[in-house]
Copies of this chain bind each other. A is one copy, B any other.
Amino acid sequence: MENHIDENEKTSSVFSEAELEYIAPRSHKTGPSLLSRLGNRLRCSGQMAKSLLFKFIPILYWLPRYPFKEWLLGDIISGLSVGIIQLPQGLAYALLAGVPPVFGLYSSFYPVFIYSIFGTSRHISAGTFAVISVMVGSVTESLVPNDTLVVTTNESLSDTGGERVAVAASLTFLVGIFQILLGLVQFGFVVTYLSEPLIRGYTTAAAIHVTVSQIKSIFGVSITQRSHALSLIYTIVEICSKLPQTNIASLITGLIAIGVLFIVKYLNEKYYSKIRIPIPMELITLIVATGISYGVNLNETYGVDIVGTIPVGMKAPVLPRSDLFPKVVGNAFAIAVVVYAFTISLAKMFAAKHGYTVDNNQELIALGLSNFVGGFFSCFTIGTAMSRSLVQESTGGNSQVAGVVSCLVILVIILKAGELFETLPKAILAAVVVVNLKGIFKQFLDIPMLWRTNRIDLLVWLVTFAATILLNLDIGLGVSVAFSIITIIFRTQLPHYSVLGQVSNTDIYRDVARYAQAKEIPGIKIFQSSCTLYFANADLYANAVKSMSGLEVDKLIAMKKKAMKKQKQMEEKNEKLKKKENDQGEGAQGGGGGPHPSFRVDMPLLALHITRNGLPSAARTNYEVIEEAKQGFLGNGNIFHSLILDLSTVNFLDTVSVKILKNIFRDFTEIDVTVYIAGCHAMVLEQLEKANFFSKTITKGQFFSSIKDAVTHILNTQSLTPEQRNEIFASTKL
């Protein structure tokens, strides 16, 4: 019976064998026998080739393991839903990219298919994406500027339209190359420079660019296309000046479409839990609008701009034009990174939600291959649209199969139904674009949120937004990345410096200025900086240590130096006098005393045990001079003898900071304050060693792993009397 249950358990286990292998391929570690290890090694090379293949062509791995019964239905429904959205988005975003609408359909087919084969994310919907499309558009429009895109016959495609398509395809090809290269050299990490506030600020600005570029379609006016700095401002000004020329029919069409789409989008969201599969309102709008447009003949009667000829059937692949490469290479790199940044963040989000992992570098390669292949088929660059991915996931999509299904939908349109949409007004497509930006515009809410939580990140957001609005999407991105790197300097340039005190009867040390319970230990100053120490704040650190120590360190040192000089001069004088006296004595044997009694005192350089008033000043030791001056500065009875620098916040040390630390040791040693280091991390200690920090005067004995240890050490050695310390001082210093 037990056996039976065991058996039973095995088959009805929550994990199938394959799944377990998928989930824990590294769990074989636990002690295999020598023989089996030998066998393993033999099988190893074959397995490695297989796992490499699985790594680079994930479909080979997941398709044979695809749980048809459980996943297929969901994937088909999801694929159909996504395909239905891809259609209007593809047409609309093609306008953003500055190419005829049909290329949006191509872009929704070839690259998406390739992604399904190579991608590792099971829920993102690869395809056209507004932000990327508008980035592509800024390139095509700057290289092929005149606005003659109203393609009415198949031939005129070879004019501006054709040229733009070539630019877009070359750009896309290069984007693919960059992504594949970045993936192969495992440089997926470049995306980390695009921090979240940066990306959100950037997309918000991109959405504004997109909206402005669509306003002209909605108002039915034609606008000079620009892609220089401040072009957005010029365009807005031009649109305003051309408002009187508005095509009322176009405007009404657009506004109605926007209204309907917004309402349905809202209803879709509100009743999502009930209907599960959203109403494909975009498709319905397209069909209805095309029908009305055809029936009323909107184009000829009211001058409403329509989509125009959509060639039926596939096109043969064309080599991307290499003469365009040098002109688009910079933008290609920027776009490659942005595409990846969006995709990976979405992919990770879904992976976390559904409990699987995505392979960063494989994602790069998959996107790269998609765009690379797309480049041959006159596609523009694709990415991953958040809204569409959410539809794919929420309608029950389980795997990349949904993507394949959505491709097939597009394929059918390309092959059969494309021409049906020829009378579709462009204003409808503009409406589709604008409504789809709703989610991005919500990101303006980041501003109050970041204001409350992190103002420097807010600054990054705002600077990115402003730079992208004013300098356009390419240069704006560069400026934003540079700025977000500089914020590291902002955040660490002006650290918070604090003097720590012991929280009574604990080993905890806290800022005395903030915690009333924290009390300074008499004679010991514990100093902490909130940030690492490097060239930009090293000087500040040194000044803060000196000023927070409560001593005018530099002046004390000056005093000491002066005192030593005077003392030396006096000694010399004394020597001379003595010599003279001796000479006189030799001559006159015990003649009159020297010119002044003080000069007759025979004194060693550091006469110990001499009270202040008992002897003239020259006899006072340096030690006393300093201690006295310190008393004057501190104004209390405690002698400040030890300084502890808590270096736990230090991440690394450059030559400047090592020098500053050396100077602190030198200066405080000069005024008889011993410096100790606490909490120095192993890496930093190594850097100090390399930088020849340690010497006769700075030893590792002054380094402690914690403040507590340093304090304990100091208190132990400070149990000596002042005289004993004086002795130590005399024997070691000068």
Q: Which of B13, B536, B613, B706 contacts A193 (CB 8 A)?
A: B536
A5 to B612, CA, bound (A): 11
Return the contact of A632 from the options B30, B456, B679 (Cβ within 8 A). B30
Tell me, in angstroms, the Cα distance from A563 to B14 when the chains sit together.
6
- Enumerate chain B residues within 8 angstroms of A531, measured Cβ to Cβ: 532, 651-652
Chain B residues, Cβ within 8 Å of A487: 654
Q: How far is the CB of A194 from chain B (nearest CB, A)?
A: 8
**Complex contact B9–A616 (CB within 8 A):** yes
Known: A355-B557, A531-B651, A683-B496. A632 touches B27 (CB 8 A): yes
Q: Is A45 an interface residue (CB 8 A)?
A: no
Partner of A538, one of B8, B192, B197, B706: B192
Residue of B nearest to A683 (CB): B530
Given known A189-B539, A555-B24, A567-B14, contact A560–B195 (CB-CB < 8 A) = no
Q: Is A618 interfacial (CB-CB < 8 Å)?
A: yes
Taken together as a complex, chains A and B put the C-alpha atoms of A354 and B559 apart, in Å, by: 10
Chain A 598-619, CB-CB to B under 8 Å as 1, else 0, gives 1000000000000001011110
Task: Tell me, yes or no, whether A472 is within 8 Å of chain B by CB.
Answer: no
**Nearest B residue to A651, CB-CB:** B531
- Indicate whether A318 reaches chain B with its CB closer than 8 angstroms: no
Q: A681 on the interface (CB 8 Å rule)?
A: yes
| A554–B355 alpha-carbon span in the complex (Å) | 7
Chain B nearest CB: distance from A646 CB in Å?
9
Q: Across the interface, which residues of B come within 8 angstroms of A24, CB to CB?
A: 552, 555, 629, 632-633
Nearest CB in chain B to that of A632: its residue: B27
Q: Is the CB of A651 within 8 A of B649?
A: yes
What's the Cα separation between A676 and B480 when bound, in Å?
A: 35
Residues of B within 8 A of A651 (CB): 491-492, 495, 530-532, 649, 651
Give the chain B neighbours of A683 by CB distance below 8 A.
496, 530
Residue A17 is within 8 A (CB to CB) of chain B in the complex: no
- Give the distance to chain B from A411, nearest Cβ to Cβ, in Å: 33
Q: Is A466 located at the chain interface by the 8 A CB criterion?
A: no
Tell me whether A230 is interfacial, beta carbon within 8 Å: no
Whether B682 and A511, one on each chain, are in contact in the complex, defined by CB atoms closer than 8 angstroms, is yes
Whether A694 is near chain B, meaning CB under 8 Å from some CB there, is no
Residues of B near A388 (CB, < 8 A) are none
Specify which of B538, B554, B613, B652 is in contact with A491 (CB 8 Å cutoff).
B652
A19 at the interface (CB under 8 A from B): yes
Count the A residues whose beta carbon is within 8 Å of the partner chain — how many?
112
In Å, the complex CA distance between A625 and B29 comes to: 19
Bound CA–CA A495/B659 (angstroms):
23
A508 at the interface (CB under 8 A from B): yes
One of A112-120, A585-593, A685-693 at the interface: A685-693
Interface: A452 (CB within 8 A): yes
- Contact partners of A245 in chain B: CB under 8 A: none
A12: contacting residue among B554, B618, B652, CB under 8 A: B618
Decide: A196 near B690, CB < 8 A? Known: A26-B552, A532-B651, A651-B649: no
Do residues A196 and B659 form an inter-chain contact, with CB atoms below 8 A?
yes
Contacts of A598 in B (CB 8 A): 8, 12
The reply on A579 being an interface residue by CB < 8 A is no
- Knowing A30-B632, A485-B489, A649-B651, say if A562 contacts B15 (CB, 8 Å): yes
* Residue A648 at the chain B interface, CB threshold 8 Å: yes
Cα distance, A66 to B563, chains bound together (Å): 18
Are A682's CB and B510's CB within 8 A? yes
Q: Which residues in window 314-370 of A have CB below 8 A to B?
A: 351-352, 354-357
Complex contacts, A655 vs chain B, CB 8 Å: 195-197, 450, 453-454, 457
Q: Could you say how many copies of this chain the assembly holds?
A: 2
**Does B192 contact A617, Cβ atoms closer than 8 Å?**
no
Judge whether A535 and B635 touch: CB under 8 Å: no
**Interface flag for A727 (CB, 8 Å):** no
Docked pose: A456 CA to B540 CA in angstroms? 22
CA distance A536 to B357 in the complex (A): 21
Alpha-carbon distance A432/B38, docked complex (angstroms):
76
Which residue among A19, A487, A558, A632 has the maximum number of chain B CB atoms within 10 Å of its CB?
Answer: A558
- Decide if A583 is an interface residue (CB 8 Å cutoff): no
Asked whether, in the complex, the Cβ of A539 is within 8 Å of the Cβ of B635, the reply is: no
Q: In the complex, how many angstroms separate the beta carbon of A303 from the nearest chain B beta carbon?
A: 49
Asked if A484 is at the interface of the complex by the 8 Å CB criterion, the answer is: yes
**Is A514 positioned at the interface, with any CB of B under 8 Å from its CB?**
yes
**Could you tell me which residues of chain A, from 16 to 31, have a CB within 8 Å of some CB in chain B?**
19, 23-24, 26-27, 29-31
Flag whether A663 is at the interface (Cβ < 8 A).
yes
A211 at the interface (CB under 8 A from B): no
From residue A364, how far is it (CB to closest CB) to chain B in Å?
Answer: 14
From B192, B488, B558, contact of A355 by CB (8 A): B558
Once the chains bind, are B192 and A5 in contact (CB under 8 Å)?
no
Task: Tell me which residues from 509 to 556 in chain A have a Cβ below 8 Å from any Cβ of chain B.
Answer: 510-511, 514, 528, 530-532, 534-540, 552, 554-555
Residues of A at under 8 Å CB distance from B?
A: 2, 5-6, 8-9, 12-15, 19, 23-24, 26-27, 29-31, 189, 192-193, 195-197, 351-352, 354-357, 450, 452-454, 456-457, 482, 484-489, 491-493, 495-496, 498, 507-508, 510-511, 514, 528, 530-532, 534-540, 552, 554-555, 557-563, 566-567, 597-598, 613, 615-618, 625, 629, 632-633, 635, 648-656, 658-659, 663, 679, 681-684, 687, 690-692, 705-706, 708
User: Can you list the 10 inter-chain pairs with the closest CB atoms, starting with the nearest?
Assistant: A195-B535, A355-B558, A355-B561, A531-B651, A648-B648, A453-B691, A14-B566, A530-B683, A30-B635, A491-B652
